[in-house]
Amino acid sequence: MRYNPDIHDRHSIRLKGFDYSRMRFYYITVCTKDRENFFGTVGARHWLALNEYGKVVENCITTIPIIYENVELHEFVIMPNHLHALLEIKHAIDNPGKDGRADVSPLQEHHSKLKTIGYIIGQFKSTVTKEIRGKGLQNFAWQRNYYEHIIRSQGELNQIREYILNNPINWNIDEYY
């Protein structure tokens, strides 16, 4: 069914007017469609066992700082049906090739331009989907959107780091379980 604004309620959950390419820490949660467990299991001792699909997610999330040179990946955890990640946009970057300083390919230029968190997560979700479906899991899908929180203080940053690191311990009481 095509999107119809009269019957579909697709309002943005993003902070209106906020520049999501700004230098900040961003807490991200991405869930699978219907919270289906695709990525592995959490064992009795809260040990994460990623399956081949979970390893695709791990590979894709850890390559974000390689693709986007101004983004740093801090703590992250891949759970059976979701991912929590702490991303930091560290600085604005120049657009190489535009000022004559560098001779770069169009692909390098495309990836080195400043991107928003939404763009980065969209590319991440798309890449993971293609790779997992390429491995034969045709019914794999993410939920339509993702959750994001802009970190505003050191205390908040510390609390979110702790939440991410303790997520496997709390799996049995997790809202995504």
pLDDT value of position 67:
93
Q: What is the pTM of this model?
A: 0.79
Domain boundaries, given as residue ranges, for the chain: 24-172
- CA separation for the pair 146, 131 (Å, rounded): 19
pLDDT at site 173? 77
SS3 call for 42: strand
Q: Please give the pLDDT value at position 101.
A: 42
The per-residue pLDDT string of the chain (177 residues; one tens digit each, 9 = 90 and over) reads 565 655 545 555 655 666 667 789 999 999 999 999 999 999 877 788 999 999 999 999 999 999 998 999 999 999 999 999 999 999 766 544 444 444 444 544 555 456 889 999 999 999 999 999 999 999 999 999 999 999 999 999 999 999 999 999 988 777 666
Say what the pLDDT of residue 47 is: 84
Is residue 168 within 8 Å of 79, Cβ to Cβ? yes
Structure-token pair, residue 139: 């019914």
Give me the CATH topology for the region 24-172.
Alpha-Beta Plaits (3.30.70)
Take residue 36 and report the two structure tokens written for it: 């289906």
The pLDDT, as a whole number, for residue 45 is 75
What do you get for the CA distance between the two ends of the chain, in Å?
A: 29
| φ, ψ at 152 (rounded to 5°) | -115, -10
Mind giving me the DSSP string for 65-77? HHHSTTEEEEEEE
